[in-house]
Structure 1
Amino acid sequence: MAVDLINISWSPIILLLLDISPMLPVLEGVVMELQDCALPLLREVISTDKEDLAFKDLDAAILVGSMPRKEGMERKDLLMANVAIFKSQGAALEKYSKKTVKVLVVGNPANTNCLIAAKSAPSIPKENFSCLTRLDHNRARSQVAMRCGVPATHVKNVIIWGNHSSTQYPDVHHCMVKMAGSDLACFDAVKDDAWLKGDFISTVQQRGAAVIKARKLSSAMSAAKAICDHMRDIWTGTPEGEFISMGVYSTGNTYGVPDDLIYSFPVQIKDKTWKIVDGLEINDFSRGKMDATAVELIEERDTAVAFLGQ
């Protein structure tokens, strides 16, 4: 899916939907639903199976489609299939889109797919590419809010480190919770260190699988909401004193994360430019979990990059 955005705050939106040819009749149903929503900023919806039309002069691109893992499929086979998809879409961005385009990769494995797309569009700055870990961020925020009996809006500065996978690290060591008119450190608000270092982490890590088990389909509404949150913050910025989680390109060994990965960090955004929040204290508990998810990303990257040259 791709989006043409001039100024998301008030300008009309032209939405371009790209899918494979056999799915065009289904895509027309999506167009009908969008029309029926009577959305105030939606000026036009175009559905197509042509990359030159879908990627032409984009302000924003949301890459949702990927090959899901099927029963009996090995991880390397999954990576090989997705390298082909995101190499092609990266090349289309390179050929047709604006060099200022903001690219959000949602299709899993999102971090590595994002890296392949970025490498396949060398004239577009790597800072323009990000992958979706906002859904995990929102999940973590909601779990803390429910535990404390407060609205999710009263929880800020949770962090998702690393991969959008079961190795991700939901970190609340810098999280604040508003309770009874005061801002409390998350550990003081929850008052259950064992839960925060145990079941909380595993619940967020496994939430996608839990949703699939319950509704027999993957996350839809919550993923769409997270995509909207992510793109809104790119265009309008993050509130003062708050940060959100995004998978972005790692350089300079920030927080000990190796270079050349798409890794989820805490970021603040201003003027459509993200900046990793620096200077956060990392304890030994966090360090171990951050390193573990980096190891998985390195393995994914090396396998995928080997396929990229084929």
Structure 2
Amino acid sequence: MLTLLSAMYIVVRAASSEADPIRVLVTGAAGQIAYSLLYSIAKGDVFGKDQPIILVLLDIPPMLPVLDGVVMELQDCALPLLREVIPTDKVEVGFKDLDAAILVGSMPRKEGMERKDLLKANVAIFKTQGAALEKYAKKTVRVLVVGNPANTNCLIASKSAPSIPKENFSCLTRLDHNRARSQVAMRCGVPADAVKNVIIWGNHSSTQYPDVHHAMVNVHGKEVKAYDAVKDDSWLKGDFISTVQLRGAAVIKARKLSSAMSAAKAICDHMRDWWFGTLDGEFMSMGVYAGGNSYGIPEDLIYSFPVHIKNKSWNIHDGLTVNDFSRAKMDATAAELVEERDTALSFLSQ
């Protein structure tokens, strides 16, 4: 009898020690990025192998039949951490009690559309989503904006959710970071994880500045500066930068579709680091709120900086030296973001 009671106690204790499920929203959930992303989240690759998940999938009404198919596939994966899947087209359902929001959906640029028209359309979307975060989500929610123009969309969402800390909003530049890391690794003939501390400064656009002045490469067990490992300054200041800046367009040209697999991987990397922290001595690139006192970047922008993360809080890695070459590139992408911000804010007030 005592043995039976002990066994029952162990079972009850094990059941009660399981973590509560977290609610994770993915917008644009019927799209191709989400299709590559959802399995990794539900499997535990992002928020932890012992963290139950409730997945909330939001999309526009015409995409709901497609979303039903996505839900069926997630069910058919028989993933032990996936407690519930909630497909919806309603913000009051999608944004309720969220722990994490991954805002993938946005208005894509269509043929003949001017950039200001694209901004206007996305201001409307991210104003609505920011207001929904404000009204329905937890104040501790961590928000990652993926939909382009990601930096400015993120800023609009943040401004539309004033009671959620600005530090809880970020935009995705990890894909650019991963691209830069991979290009250096291939050039040096080493694995991608042998390269650390590349930086993406600024906008997730063709003005972004991939910077390797502070990057290190592990070559045969010894860490050396990226410039010394590559031994080709003209490439690092020329083709390397343009390759990273224009990689998304190159993928579209080759694949006839935008980046999906690599974008999903970058989203996972970004959110996992935000949840669990960066490694000691390493920083990653995130589009975060610029308060006006880091690296001379104007305030009130979402700008990509090198950050290190601990306890779900990021801090900009300050104190890096910036040479004249880098300064010019950093200022150019900041100027584009200022112009985007001012245009978007003019629409926000309408």
Task: State TM-score, norm by structure 2.
Answer: 0.86
- d(CA) in 1 for partners of 2:82, 2:236: 42
Amino acid at match of 1:144: V
Q: State the partner residue of 2:208.
A: 168
Q: State the partner residue of 2:184.
A: 144
Amino acid at match of 2:25: A
Conserved? CA contact 2:213–2:227, under 8 Å: yes
How far the C-alpha of 1:28 sits from its partner, in A, is 1.3
How far the C-alpha of 1:50 sits from its partner, in A, is 1.1
- d(CA) in 2 for partners of 1:192, 1:84: 45
SS at match of 1:254: coil
Correspondent of 1:34 among 74, 78, 97 = 74
- d(CA) in 2 for partners of 1:28, 1:120: 30
Amino acid at match of 1:78: L
- Paired-residue identity, %: 81
Pairwise mapping of residues 45-64 of structure 1 onto structure 2 (< 5 A)?
Answer: 45-64=85-104
SS at match of 1:145: helix
Amino acid at match of 2:262: S
- d(CA) in 1 for partners of 2:71, 2:264: 16
Correspondent of 2:219 among 179, 192, 216 = 179
Amino acid at match of 1:8: F
- d(CA) in 2 for partners of 1:184, 1:150: 13
How far the C-alpha of 1:40 sits from its partner, in A, is 4.0
Correspondent of 1:194 among 234, 238, 241 = 234
- d(CA) in 1 for partners of 2:102, 2:203: 18
Q: State the partner residue of 2:47.
A: 8
Q: State the partner residue of 2:162.
A: 122
Deviates more, 1:165-174 or 1:245-254: 245-254
Give the number of the structure whose alpha-carbon radius of gyration is greater.
2
Q: Deviations over 1:242-279 (max 9, x none)?
A: 00000000003310100000000000000000000010
Deviates more, 1:221-230 or 1:250-259: 250-259
Amino acid at match of 2:198: V
Matched, 1:158 2:198: yes
Task: State TM-score, norm by structure 1.
Answer: 0.97
Q: Where does the alignment leave 5 or more consecutive residues of structure 2 unmatched?
A: 1-23, 27-40
Correspondent of 1:69 among 109, 113, 123 = 109
Distance 1:38 1:188, change over 3 A: farther
- d(CA) in 2 for partners of 1:95, 1:158: 37
Q: Where does the alignment leave 5 or more consecutive residues of structure 1 unmatched?
A: none
Distance 1:84 1:13, change over 3 A: same
Matched, 1:276 2:334: no
Correspondent of 1:296 among 322, 329, 336 = 336
Q: How many residues align?
A: 310
Q: Deviations over 1:162-205 (max 9, x none)?
A: 00000000000000000011001000000000000000000000
Amino acid at match of 1:2: L
Correspondent of 1:286 among 310, 326, 348 = 326
Amino acid at match of 2:119: L
SS at match of 1:72: coil
Conserved? CA contact 2:292–2:300, under 8 Å: no
How far the C-alpha of 1:37 sits from its partner, in A, is 3.3
